[in-house]
Every structure is written in structure tokens, then in C-alpha cells.
Structure 1
Amino acid sequence: MSDAPSVGIVTVNYNSASFIGAFLDSLGRVDYPNARLIVVDAASRDGSSDEIARRRPDAHLLRCDENVGIARGNNLGAACCREQGLDYVLFVNNDTTHEPDFLRTLVEAVDERTMAVPRILYAQDRRLISTHAGDFDWDLGLFRHTYHGKPDGPATRQRRELQTASFCCILLPARAFEAAGPLDERFFMYYEETDFLRRALARGYRLLYVPEAVVYHRESASSGGGWMTPFKQYYATRNRLYLVRKHARSRVRFAGFTLYFWATRVPYLLRYALSGQRAMLKATLLGMFHYYRGRMGRTLEVSDF
């Protein structure tokens, strides 16, 4: 039995047949001695869950009857880690590959009150940073990216503390879920990590960028399409409103954000209408409408656009 802290590697799987093999191969080369793979399959229909079971019979595979989304999927995985008494939870997208020492480097950088994210590079162009991490402007509801899209170099290889990060790859103390609570499943996907990290930081945890740990990300492979699709636009629009309202320090501040939000959405709506981008127009309007109607969680699918 290794004395190294135990880590549950949690990944949510959904129709990943085209890239799951590379992910599993990469994990097989990771040199950390005390890690367990926990896969939450969100009702995949492409045989990828069977491929995982065949290639990694040691993995704890949770098969769901429906697409539970990222928030609930990660909650299920984290709960499994805690039931097994593991020290840390590593959330990681299965459209990633990894340097063999990435997990060891992350574990060595943290303690019981520290969360950590690695330096994530684009798999398609390893000269560019894919890490979505930085600060969050709660008055405007804007993610202030520190690294994303920038060339990799000395400026991206310095440790620093952050306010928020995506859960593409993040190491968390298992006890953080006792302090901050689970991920809010009303988000379904997008912004649930910003909400969770806000709560964890408020309870004395810190978030650290650890550039010595390196991961490669095939961005958007798991959700389909490019940077922004109607499906993503819908959830991003709805959830941004919900996130800022949830953490607004006062009604006046939220009213100010609402005015800013509408003022900046109108040009987009006009552009979508005039350029014939009906799906993006529909996604944006429905995102706003469903927020105001309280329709949260899993509400629309890719096929709805």
C-alpha cells in the first residue's frame, strides 16, 4: 500500500468513442501510485462505456440512465470518492491527455485547504494555453481569463492564486465538498464550477495555478462543435444570470448587472437576426426567458437547435 495521498480520478463520459482511447492510454502512463479511476457514464449510446469497462476493468464505472450533465456527474463521482475515503478528487475531462508526472506534481503542490489546476495546452497546438482560469468580475458577470489563448512562455509558467477556473482538470481535497457543499445541479453545465469555487474560497480554501503540471486538451470535443454553439449559448446565457443573482451582494448590484447584461445582449440579438443566425438568436432568447421562468437544470438538447 502506497503512503501517497489517495486520489479519485473522476471523469464524466458521454459519447466519447472517438477520443476515449487516447484518454485511457494517457492515464495508463501516469506515474502516480495511489489513484483510482471513477467514470460516470451519462447514458452514452456510442459504445464508449463498454470500451472503458473492457480496457479498464479496475475502474469504478457508474452507468446512468440519462444524460445527467456535468454538475450531477461530478457530484456522483465526488460522492463515490468520499464513500471510499479518498483524500483528493481529480475532476478531468476525458478529451484530455497528460504528462506522466502531472498528477504527482499537483498532489505535491496542495494541502488540505488548497485546490489546484495545471497548465493546460491545446492538444491541436501545444504552443497555446487552453487553461480557463483567472478572476471573475461579479459586478459584470465576466470571466477574466489570465491565460486562455495566450502563447505558452515564461509568463504562463509562474504559480499564482486564482479566483476561478474551469473543471477541465482540477484537484480538490475531498473535504472541500463538506465545507462548500456539492456542485449546484441547477446549472446542468457551465458556471457550476465558478459557483462551487466561490463557495469554497469563502470557506477558507485557496485555488492555485500549478504550471509544472501539464495537460493537453482537445477543447470542445466532449460537448461538440466549436467555441460557441447554440446549445452552449443557451446554457451559458441562462446560467450566467443565475450565477450572478445567486452571489449578488445586494439587489442594487444585481439590478446594475441586469442593465449591463441587457445592454450588451441587444447588439448580439440584432446581429443574429440580421445575419440569419436563427439558432443563436433562439438560444440566447430562450436562455434569458428560461432563467426568468425558473427553468433550470437539463432543459434543452443539441437537437433542439
Structure 2
Amino acid sequence: MNAPRVSIIILNWNGWRDTIECLESVYRITYPNYDVIVVDNGSKDNSIEKIKEYAEGRIEVNSKFFEYNPNNKPIKVFEINEDDAGKGRFNRLLYEKFDVDRRMILIKNKNNYGFAGGNNVGIKFALSVLNPDYVLLLNNDTVVDRYFLTELVKVAESDENTGIVGPKIYYYDYNGRSDVINFTGADLVLWRGAEKRYGFRDIDKGQWDRIMSIDKIEGSCMLVREEVFKEVGLFDEKFFCYWEETDLCFRAKNKGYKIVYVPQARIWHKVSATSGGEINPFKIRLLIRNSLLFAFKNLDFHLREMFLLYLFLVALWKYLAIYLFYYKSPKVYIAFLNGILAGLKIGKIDVNNEYQN
């Protein structure tokens, strides 16, 4: 029986150094049937040239997680622009002549469309041209274990109602350690606009080594059955980045698909490498804005009202203390307030127009 085809989509935006380390780890995996699609989101740092130099074998990747493999270079790069990708213009016959670890598709977006929009370009291309059974969304600032995809597919294939699966995610480096957990799945606490995150900052001692059905898989690594995209749609590009994977998981679960955490699959994540760290104005503004967008889009009236009450009676003052007194960052708290205003504005527009139609 042939292994299901998996199209791996890696989004790059001004982060070629992270991307080539991620690629080098991907090209070492044991899974036999995959595509690598790098989507460049309008980078301005010569990422396209550097990724091609890596593929030619001209840049050696150093990592604490693996040894560089010169034996699968050069990797044939099939470079296409955003317009051709959207129209499905691609020489698949030539592409299929190369081994899975000797080929790469490189899609060049004109602009930065965020996590949601950038990945959607790659997803649309994969579904229309390559016809995969699954699409794997993988952050460029990750390193993967050799067996991670085999384990993810094994669990996904065990139940046709499983729509999205994800791995155990470690911090790439947590005070010098590589065994500190960042994510083992999450359940949503809808009335707070929050999630109950499992395994967060635990040292891994096997305590999260059970397969679990959950509400959410993190977008840094999620394997999605192709039927999910066809039935519930792609990422909602209004989110730009953050909460878009929560929204996708929520929609998939409402359609009856299971969301499953797979502990045997492992990756390491340089958390918030693209956005500039875990606490910064850009990230905080989008997180709160998008939590409101999610609430207006997906929650019923009563849950939405509970969320808004919690936001204004509790969260507003809680984060005042955290951002002003603990982090001593007025800019971050102002970004938090701006995010609330932006979320209320976009949420009201969406509820009145799109989501009630």
C-alpha cells in the first residue's frame, strides 16, 4: 500500500537562516512520499537567493539537532511566481522525475500576506496541482524529528474522522535545554477567549505521552486532511497571523472532524522568531484583535457577551498590571488597547455583514 502523499508547506518571510535549517531537517525524514513547498511572503532580505544557494549545496547548515547532509545536494528548485501558482502553471511531469529529497517548489509571493494568506497560496497550489492526501503546515523556525511525519500520518490514517493532527512541540532552546515542552495540544475556554494549553514549559518526562483528542493544534506544525480544506475552507485571511489555526480547528471540529495530538511526533520551535519575541506590540495587538474577531465570527450571543464582560471587567486590568508593572512596557499595553479597538471594529463589521449571511 502506497504511503499517502503529503505536501509540506513552509512559509518564509525574511527568515532564510531559519528556513534552511528547517529544510535540512525535513530532507532527513523517513517518510517516503512528500513534497516540499517553500512559499516566500515577499521577503526583502535576499531569502530567495539564499534558499537557492542552500539547495545548490553552497550553504552548509549547522544545527545542534543533526549533521549536515551533502549527499542529497543539489536539490532541484522549481521556482514559480504567485500568479503562475494561482493558475496551476507547473511542469509536474518533470518535477515527478526527482526523488522526494532532491526537489523543492519555491513560490514567490508579491507581498507579505501574513501566516493565513501566505499559507493559503501554498495550500491552493498543492490541492490543485499535486493532489495530496494531506497538507502539512510547518513553521520555518522549526526543526523536525526524522520520524515525525510517519507518526502523524499513522495516527491520521487510523481514523477517517481525524481531520487535523499535530506533534509534541519543544522549545528549540529553553535556557540551554531542548527537552522543555512548548505545546502538547490545547482546549478552548470560549467565554474567556483563551485556551487551556497542555504541557506548557514542562520538562518532558513522558507525562504527555498519550494521544489526545483536543480542540486545537498549533499552526507551527499541523497535518490537515485535504477533505478538511475542501469542506470547511482555508485559513481566514482577516486574521493575518495568530488565531487563524484556532479558527480552522474550530470550524473543522464543528463539521465532525477530530483534532488529535500525537506525542510520538516531535519538533522543536524557535518560538515567535518571526514576530520578534513573545512580548512585543505587534504580536500583542494582533492576539487581542484576533481573539475578538474569532468571538464575533464563531460564538453565539451568550458566549460572546460573556467573553466581552470578561475582557472589560478582568482582562483589561490584568494585562494593565502585567504589561505596565511586570514588563514595564507602556507600548505593549497601548498595543493591547489598540487591538481591542481594532477587534471591536472589525468584529462589528463582520457580524453585521459576512458571518450572518
TM over 0.5: yes
Which residue identity is paired with 2:305? A
What letter matches 1:156 in structure 2? Answer: W
Partner of 2:259: 207
Aligned length: 293
**Secondary structure of residue in 1 paired with 2:166:** strand
Task: Tell me which structure has the larger Cα radius of gyration.
Answer: 2
Map residues 231-242 of structure 1 onto 2, 5 A cutoff: 231-242=282-293
Mapping of 1:1-305 within 5 angstroms? 3-54=2-53, 55=55, 56=75, 57=77, 58-83=103-128, 84-111=130-157, 112-114=160-162, 115-124=164-173, 125-131=177-183, 133-225=185-277, 227-250=278-301, 252-263=302-313, 264-269=315-320, 272=323, 277-294=329-346
Query: Is the 1:78–1:174 Cα contact (8 Å) retained in structure 2?
Result: no
Q: Percent of counterpart pairs with the same letter?
A: 31
8 Å Cα contact 2:297-2:347 kept in structure 1? no
Following the alignment from structure 1 to structure 2, what is the Cα–Cα distance between the partners of residues 59 and 88?
17
Question: Which stretch shifts more, 195-204 or 148-157?
Answer: 148-157
Q: TM-score, normalised by structure 2?
A: 0.78
Separation in 1 of the partners of 2:218 and 2:145?
A: 19
Q: For the Cα contact (< 8 Å) 2:16–2:51, is it kept in 1?
A: no
User: How far did 1:293 drift?
Assistant: 2.4
- TM-fit CA distance, 1:31: 1.5
- Give the stretch that moved more between structures: 267-276 or 190-199: 267-276
Q: What secondary structure, in the 3-state scheme, does the structure 2 residue paired with 1:110 have?
A: helix
Give structure 2 stretches of 5+ with no counterpart. 56-74, 78-102, 349-357
Distance 2:187 2:321 in 1: 30
Aligned to 2:355: none
Which amino acid is 1:246 matched to?
Answer: K
Contact 1:133–1:148 under 8 Å retained in 2: no
Which structure 1 segments of 5+ residues have no match?
Answer: 297-305
In the alignment, is the contact (CA less than 8 A) between 1:122 and 1:130 conserved in 2? Answer: yes
Any idea what SS the aligned residue of 1:59 has? strand
Q: Structure 2 vs 1, CA of residues 132 and 49 (structure 1 numbering), >3 Å: closer, same or farther?
A: farther
